[in-house]
Structure 1
Amino acid sequence: MQTAGPSGFYNVPTTKLLILFVGTCSVLASILDLKPIFHLQLSPHVTLHHQFWRLLTSHCAFTNSGELFFGLLIIYSMRIIERQYGSAKYAAFLFITLWVSTFLELGALVSGAKLGFRRIPGGPYALVFSMLYQYHRIIPATYRFRIFGATLNDKMFLYAPALQMMISQSFATIVPCICGMMAGALYRSDVGNVKKWRFPRYVRNAASRVSDASLASGPIPRSSTTMPTTARSSEILTTAANLRNRRSNAGTNNARARATNTADVREYIDTLTGRGASAEVQPPPEEDVQILMSMFPDHPRETIMRAFSAGHNNMNRAVEIMLSTPAPVGSSSNDGAGTTSGSNNRP
């Protein structure tokens, strides 16, 4: 499956809150027999009984365990989008696409009434497929493979359960999924500068305090071991001993081969110890450095440069390294606000 940086919920409080909310609502709806209140139907619920709250509750809970499992799996995998956007922009994106997809679903119910389409089942289908649209447009494939002559990539491992969700209840689930993709496309096209909208600052500050207190997750500890495995150490020592023996007996014809082997061993040892990397890797573009500094304001410039050096100037790799790098002691780390300013420069 597509890699999404560090595992777990580090720096993704919005994804963590969404998974907890949808999972809790789905379980309570099943235990308390409340599934009938989560589907969306114009007549008689909205037009006659004026149950307008169904416009929101229809996105809160899945009504069966299979769709709940696949839905939470996809939402968890979409944490890579939150790390690309930043928590503030990601929360604004979810809010905007929620309302846009709801109005699209209402239009589909009105226009499809004569064709027999009168009901949308409960579940955040639109939100899931709006996230998947951003994933399709932003995240590149890591590898490709062939099955029975067809070329596929690693993203199919998310598209397959998404397809199962879409066709699970025929048109009842196909319609909200299409509405979600349309809402994601409208957000991606930046109609009316919707990408620049954010919740008010006081709302973001309050949400940050709550997330720091109850939703914050620490980074996965990284190993500080720089020595190779025992088998590899023996191989290096054997190679070094052979080089010393060849140096004493070799002539002119073997000089070039000895130099090549010595360079290989030196390159491997330099890679383990970190020596010589700065001389071979070109400095990253200043624009990328500024983007990472705005995404991680609690870290000094030297830490940003080391991340670029370790990631060979690859922007995505540098972001992954910084996400797993704890903030310096004494700095105030903010999961949401720390990536807000940098998110405007990301797609």
Structure 2
Amino acid sequence: MPQITPIKGFINTPVTKKVVIFSTIITILVSIFQIKYLFTLSIDPLILEYNQFWRILTFQLSVINESDYLLTMILWFHFKNLERFYGSQKYLSLILILSIYNGVVTFLIMSLGQLLINFIDYFILTTFKLNGYTYFTTILNSIVPGPIGILSSLYICFGTYIPISYQFKILLSNPFKNNQENHSNSKELLLTDHFQIHILYTLLLFNNGFKSFVPSLIGLFIGKLYTSELLPGSKSWLLPTTLFKIFINPFKILNNIINLIRRRFNGYQSINQIIDDEDQNEESNEREEIVDDMRNNESEIRAETPVRPLASQFLDTFRTRGD
């Protein structure tokens, strides 16, 4: 399997960059205009009484507290290796598919779970002829908003497809107190370069108590289905290129539309001017294609190049200085 080497910043990861920027903007707007209630999801009364089914998809767009925002942004940043593994267009398609599945399955689990709990309570009361039954809300009535389910699915993908670069040990006992013969029996903790991902995701899992358990467990289940190739449509569907370009560079699309409208209202143009404009557009498109090909080639070369041991890197450094 190819080695995924570290990436500095958002180099060759435009989808991760846009997701982080859009998530930050939405979170700031939610806090400024005090519209956190638009991103909450609860079965009763928002779904049962007001029929606001649009919340099934919108509740994943924004978090409503600072700790969730910090953890989700750090996880999005770490998951940029997945974008490099899949490719930007496939990675964005994967995020959209996971968001749809997580939204629908979360809604079904919350609805059916709350209905089942009420049915069990009703069955017990009628069986033992106790007081009359009244409908009540359960712990499954509402969950914490945010892309927790999507990040849970990506967490499974990260552990499955991104290889481990290195391992290290942490001694839990003082090695100087032990004899040399018993040094191998000293307590130690073996960790990998993925340990920070596990810590951050665990903090996100327990950050809101049971309200974050439901989307997290559902996201883990959907991620496992995806890695096992059991999620319908997840492997074959790909976001159209036009929509992908709009997401990556919306200002360029807007500029093209403005130029088109300007041509319509400016009246007739000379043939030479039209040809020059078309040549400039073709040259810019060719340049973008060349840059994209160069980036893809660099990514493939970096991905296929194994990480060299630290000792070899030190030796090469000293040899270079000696020469």
Assess if the C-alpha contact under 8 Å between 1:35 and 1:63 holds in 2: yes
Q: CA RMSD in A?
A: 3.1
The gaps in structure 2 that reach 5 residues or longer are: 118-137, 173-187, 255-289, 308-323
Residue 52 of structure 1 deviates from its aligned partner by 1.7
- TM-score normalised over the length of structure 2: 0.64
CA 1:82–1:136: 2 relative to 1, 3 Å: same
Mapped to 1, the partners of 2:245 and 2:67 lie a distance apart of 36
Distance 1:152 1:13, change over 3 A: same
Q: Is 2:15–2:248's contact at 8 Å kept on the other side of the alignment? A: no
Q: Which whole-Å CA distance do the structure 2 matches of 1:299 and 1:3 have between them? A: 18
How far 1:36 sits from its partner (Å)? 2.1
Residue number among 203, 207, 229 corresponding to 2:243 in the alignment: 203
1:154 correspondence with 2:193: yes
Q: What letter corresponds to residue 202 of structure 2 in structure 1? A: L
Q: Contact 1:13–1:87 at 8 Å: present in 2 too?
A: yes
Shift of 1:189: 2.2
Could you tell me the percent identity over the aligned residues? 24
Distance 2:142 2:68 in 1: 17
Asked whether the equivalents of residues 4 and 163 of structure 2 are also in contact (C-alpha less than 8 Å), the reply is: no
Distance of 1:168 and 1:209 partners within structure 2:
34
**Distance 1:50-1:193 versus aligned 2 partners, 3 A rule:** closer
Q: Deviations over 1:103-130 (max 9, x none)?
A: 2211221233225321011111011111
User: Displacement of 1:77 after TM fit?
Assistant: 1.0
Deviation of 1:3 after TM superposition, in Å, equals 7.6
Separation (CA, whole Å) in 2 of partners of 1:212 and 1:156: 40
Structure 1 residue 130 and structure 2 residue 169: aligned? no
In structure 2, the partner of 1:143 is 166
Gaps of 5+ in 1: 215-294, 319-347
Who is 2:85 aligned against? Answer: 84
Q: Does 1:315 align with 2:304?
A: yes
Q: What SS is found at the alignment partner of 1:195?
A: coil
8 Å contact kept, 2:18–2:248: no
Q: How many residues align?
A: 231
Is the Cα contact below 8 Å between 2:4 and 2:162 reproduced in 1? no
> CA contact under 8 A between 2:102 and 2:149: conserved in structure 1?
yes
Match of residue 255 from structure 1: none
**1:265-300 superposed Cα distances (whole Å, 9 cap, x missing partner):** xxxxxxxxxxxxxxxxxxxxxxxxxxxxxx997349
1:317 to partner: Cα distance? 4.8
Decide whether the 8 Å contact of 1:145 with 1:152 is kept in 2. Answer: yes
Instruction: Name the counterpart of 1:53.
Output: 54
Cα pair 1:40 1:122 within 8 Å, conserved = yes
Residue type at the aligned position of 2:145:
G
In the alignment, residue 129 of structure 1 is paired with which amino acid?
S
Change (3 A) 1:193 1:53: closer
Counterpart of 2:162, as a letter, is I
| Pair 1:205–1:29, CA change in 2 (3 A) | closer
Structure 2: distance between partners of 1:167 and 1:143: 28
Say whether the 8 Å CA contact 1:4–1:77 is kept in structure 2.
Answer: no
TM-score normalised to the size of structure 1? 0.60
